[in-house]
């Protein structure tokens, strides 16, 4: 029970830090099966601690979240960004949700090399099971995938530095690159990339690195037809052109972020992407 309490307290603290209302959190925890008395206890402890923190103005802890959310600085120029020695041109920007489409994010040879490095390790993609914090096979996601460790190859390291510079978010806060292969007919149905705070498994998942706050999807191969990345809330479909990339950020783990998105079915040819998810804190 001591562990369970610690886990609950950690989840409550994470949610409070993200600005979620205490009342709503209590309801969610009870619906998720926590005993109301235990929730009350944990809530009182969390709120007491946050009041005390505010009163004594304790300096920012070294592992506290980087403030703000990732995103390129487009205040002076929205045509391009310079990232780690590369000028990357921008073909579209959306304000809400924050979406930026990059043209020449990767060179063709970088796309090809990443695919070759990934191929021997591709397996049917799993989705995170929010109920348990584990992973599961899901019919909504019919791609094959694999993860590189961060910095596993010099190419991964270079792409990670480029992403960090382009969207101004520390390399250390990134998950390892994921490569996905969509064969004919494969798709990824619309979903959110953040972890749903209402799900009991989320507390465990976000112990490592905190919430996801942004996504970069890089297109490594152009399918002959289909395979765009769709944003149904705003009626946007980003074309999957080799070497280009789409970035989007979510300032709260909530549908209000309007970041529902999916990988449309590939109707001819095949599609490869590399995905980078960005966390609030160091993903160690
Ligand atoms: O492959 C895509 O277009 C895609 C779409 C939505 C990838 C992801 N989400 C993802 O990896 O989260
Ligand atoms: Zn996604």
For 26-83, write each residue's pLDDT tens digit. Answer: 655 544 544 444 556 666 677 765 443 333 333 334 444 456 899 999 999 999 999 9
Instruction: Quote the pTM value.
Output: 0.76
For the chain, which residues make up each domain, given as ranges?
3-55, 80-279
Angle at alpha carbon of residue 39, lines to 35 and 40, rounded to 5°: 115
Long-range Cβ contacts of 56-65 (<8 Å, 24+ apart): 63/281, 63/282, 64/281, 65/17, 65/210, 65/280, 65/281
194 lines ligand 1 (CB under 6 A): no
Checking if the pLDDT of 231 tops 70, the result is yes
CA of 229 to the centre of ligand 1 (A): 7
Cβ(176)–Cβ(147) below 8 Å? yes
Atom of ligand 1 minimally distant from the CA of 180: 1
Give the separation between CA 160 and CA 170, rounded to whole angstroms.
9
Is the C-beta atom of 143 inside 6 A of ligand 1? no
- Show the DSSP H helices in 97-254 as ranges: 108-118, 154-167, 202-205
- What superfamily does domain 80-279 belong to in CATH? q2cbj1_9rhob like domain (2.60.120.620)
Atom of ligand 1 nearest to the CA of 240: 3
Q: What is the pLDDT of residues 181-223, one digit of tens each?
A: 999 999 999 999 999 999 989 999 999 999 999 999 999 999 9
The string of pLDDT tens digits covering residues 140-182 is 677 899 999 999 999 999 999 999 999 999 999 999 999 999 9
**Which residues are bridge partners to 236 per DSSP?**
231
Q: Which of 6-15, 121-130, 168-177 has the highest mean pLDDT?
A: 168-177
Quick one: CA dihedral 34, 35, 36, 42, positive or negative? negative
Is 208 strand, coil or helix? Answer: coil
């Amino acid at each position: 029970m001591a562990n369970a309490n610690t886990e609950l307290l950690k989840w409550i603290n994470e949610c409070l830090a993200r600005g979620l209302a205490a009342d709503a959190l209590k309801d969610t925890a009870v619906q998720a099966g926590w005993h109301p008395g235990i929730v009350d206890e944990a809530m009182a402890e969390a709120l007491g601690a946050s009041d005390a923190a505010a009163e004594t103005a304790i300096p920012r802890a070294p592992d506290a979240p980087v403030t703000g959310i990732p995103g390129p600085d487009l205040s002076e120029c929205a045509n391009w960004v310079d990232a780690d020695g590369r000028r990357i041109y921008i073909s579209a920007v959306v304000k809400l949700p924050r979406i930026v489409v990059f043209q020449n994010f990767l060179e063709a040879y970088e796309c090809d090399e990443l695919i070759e490095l990934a191929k021997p390790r591709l397996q049917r993609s799993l989705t995170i099971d929010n109920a348990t914090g584990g992973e599961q096979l899901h019919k909504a996601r019919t791609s094959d995938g694999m993860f590189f460790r961060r910095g596993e190859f010099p190419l991964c390291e270079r792409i990670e530095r480029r992403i960090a510079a382009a969207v101004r978010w520390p390399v250390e806060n990134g998950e390892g690159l994921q490569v996905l292969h969509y064969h004919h007919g494969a798709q990824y149905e619309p979903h959110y990339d953040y972890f749903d705070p209402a799900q009991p498994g989320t507390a465990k998942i976000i112990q490592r690195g905190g919430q996801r706050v942004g996504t970069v999807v890089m297109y490594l191969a152009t399918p002959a037809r289909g395979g765009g990345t769709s944003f149904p809330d705003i009626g946007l479909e980003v074309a999957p052109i080799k070497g280009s990339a789409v970035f989007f950020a979510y300032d709260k783990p909530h549908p209000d972020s309007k970041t529902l998105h999916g990988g449309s079915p590939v109707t001819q040819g095949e599609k490869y992407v590399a995905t980078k998810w960005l966390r609030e804190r160091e993903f160690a």
